[in-house]
Amino acid sequence: MQSLRMGVAGCGLIGRRHVDVVRTSPGCLLVGIADPDPAVAGLAGSIGVPHYQSVAELIAAERPDAMVVATPTQHHLADALACAEAGIHVLVEKPLADSHQASWAIVEAARKAGIVALVGHHRRYYPAVREARRILAEGGIGRLVGATVVWVTLKSDDYFVPDWRRAPGAGPLMNNLVHEVDLLRFICGEITEVTTRASNAVRGFAVEDSAAVVLGFANGALATALISDTAVSPWSFEMATGESLQVAYTGENTMRFMGTEGSLEFPNLVFWRARDGGRCDWHGAPASSRVKARFIDVYVEQIRHFGAVIRGEETPVASVEDGARSLDVTRAIVASAQRGEPVRLATPQ
Ligand SMILES: NC(=O)c1ccc[n+]([C@@H]2O[C@H](COP(=O)([O-])OP(=O)(O)OC[C@H]3O[C@@H](n4cnc5c(N)ncnc54)[C@H](O)[C@@H]3O)[C@@H](O)[C@H]2O)c1
């Protein structure tokens, strides 16, 4: 198998993780990194790869097969378009872009160019996420009735030092709930209506600190999500999985899926069904069992999958269409909070 020649643009917090993963992944060859920050030249020197100021410079000099774009979100459109115009496959970090127009422009450019274009919704690669999706799709809990999501944590004071983190658009709805929205869409199906009530009562910043959201799915199921960055709790995806070095691990379940024949707690995959496999109404308690799923480095799996899609061996798990749609739903959740009314979303064709 010939190695894929890959570049990474944007070598900050998450871009450095991609640099490490691309360098060490079988079947990948890191051919250059792009970042205007002079400190990145030192990184390039230390790992022995060329350093460029921009995606355009890297593409012109190296003609890579594929790029990872981990630049600030407002640069994603320009960087993804540069890749599409050069016919280079691209993995764009999430959120896909900073507006509806920009994200769908990326989708359209990728389609026209015929390139593989993925979005960095890395949580889709957890085996527990794939298993939950499989169990629901195979009718393991019967017909899906609803789901509950909790993402509640107390962000530390230093997080709010930069002014922009206290401004509208930078709160837990756009920053954190976008991940839960993408997982709900992946596991349960398309979201068609949202209603939000947001609050800034505790911190008093211009941006929300907490919100309660009701979500309606095309298949008739409902979900509720409580999100807050100002309460002490063991229930957030990061705490459940230990995926972030900055966030403590609790291992507690944060999502519950409920159907006509059973329920599933996530991410530990506790499966509740009738004891004898028959019907279980409220006269009898359901029995629980665990479905095993390994916790893996999903950034490694994401790059492996990117390569496999490029070679035509796998179909995309997280396409740029998914990124654009999850962003649209999240923006609708914010709009509902602002307008004080439900927001409907058209069902994608
Ligand atoms: N999937 C995840 O787990 C995850 C985690 C964190 C961030 N992100 C996303 O990744 C993106 C980057 O976030 P971050 O936290 O790494 O930001 P960051 O500020 O730490 O890093 C961004 C880097 O991009 C560089 N840069 C700026 N303009 C550039 C350009 N035109 N070309 C090349 N490089 C440029 C900056 O110098 C900086 O080094 C954002 O979209 C963010 O939402 C995803």
Each residue's pLDDT tens digit, 230-267 = 999 999 999 999 988 889 999 999 999 999 999 999 99
The full set of domain ranges for the chain reads 4-115, 126-293+328-344
Q: What is the pLDDT of residue 349?
A: 65
Find where tokens 């195979």 sit.
Answer: 138
Instruction: Report how far apart, in Å, the C-alpha atoms of 91 and of each of 178, 203, 309, 319, 320 are.
Output: 18, 36, 11, 9, 9
- Residue to substitute in 8, 11, 13 for testing ligand 1 pocket (most ligand atoms within 8 angstroms of CB): 13
Q: What is the pLDDT of residue 163?
A: 86
Angle at 232 (CA atoms; ends 227, 233), nearest 5 degrees:
70
Ligand 1 centroid–CA 10 distance in Å is: 5
Q: 12 CB less than 6 Å from ligand 1?
A: yes
Each residue's pLDDT tens digit, 50-107 = 999 999 999 999 999 999 999 999 999 999 999 999 999 999 999 999 999 999 999 9
Q: 73 CB less than 6 Å from ligand 1?
A: yes
* Closest Cα to atom 1 of ligand 1: 120
Mean pLDDT of the chain: 95
* pLDDT > 70: percent of the chain: 100
Q: What is the pLDDT of residue 276?
A: 81
Distance CA 71, CA 252 (A): 32
Q: 340 CB less than 6 Å from ligand 1?
A: no
* Closest Cα to atom 28 of ligand 1: 71
The mean per-residue pLDDT over the stretch 175-200 comes to 97
The mean per-residue pLDDT over the stretch 270-289 comes to 91
Using DSSP bridges, classify how beta strands 255-259 and 144-152 pair: parallel, antiparallel or unpaired: antiparallel
Question: In terms of pLDDT, which residue wins out, 280 or 66?
Answer: 66
Q: What is the pLDDT of residue 301?
A: 97
Domain 126-293+328-344 sits in CATH 3.30.360.10: yes
CB 29 within 8 A of CB 307: no
Ligand 1 centroid–CA 220 distance in Å is: 37
Given a cut of 80, is residue 7 above it in pLDDT? yes
Distance CA 333, CA 201 (A): 19
Q: 11 CB less than 6 Å from ligand 1?
A: yes
Ligand 1 centroid–CA 29 distance in Å is: 21
Q: What is the pLDDT of residue 206?
A: 92
Output the CA torsion sign for 180, 185, 189, 192. Answer: positive
Using DSSP bridges, classify how beta strands 28-34 and 4-9 pair: parallel, antiparallel or unpaired: parallel
Domain 4-115 sits in CATH 3.40.1790.10: no
Distance CA 132, CA 305 (A): 19
Q: 162 CB less than 6 Å from ligand 1?
A: no
**CB proximity list for 224: less than 8 A, separation 6 or greater:** 146, 147, 148, 149, 212, 213, 214, 215
Given a cut of 80, is residue 347 above it in pLDDT? no
Question: What confidence category does residue 219 fall into, taking pLDDT thresholds of 50, 70 and 90?
Answer: very high
* Closest Cα to atom 36 of ligand 1: 10
* pLDDT > 90: percent of the chain: 90
The mean per-residue pLDDT over the stretch 214-230 comes to 98
Given a cut of 70, is residue 328 above it in pLDDT? yes
What count of other Cβ atoms lies within 10 Å of the Cβ of residue 163? 8
* Closest Cα to atom 27 of ligand 1: 71
Given a cut of 80, is residue 280 above it in pLDDT? yes
Q: 188 CB less than 6 Å from ligand 1?
A: no
Q: 75 CB less than 6 Å from ligand 1?
A: yes
Q: What is the pLDDT of residue 197?
A: 98
Reading the block at residue 28, the tokens are 């990948």
- The three-class DSSP label of residue 192 is strand
Give, as one character, the DSSP assignment of residue 49: -
Question: What confidence category does residue 215 fall into, taking pLDDT thresholds of 50, 70 and 90?
Answer: very high
Q: What is the pLDDT of residue 2?
A: 84
Distance of CA 103 to the CA centre of its chain: 15
Distance CA 32, CA 11 (A): 11
Ligand 1 centroid–CA 95 distance in Å is: 11
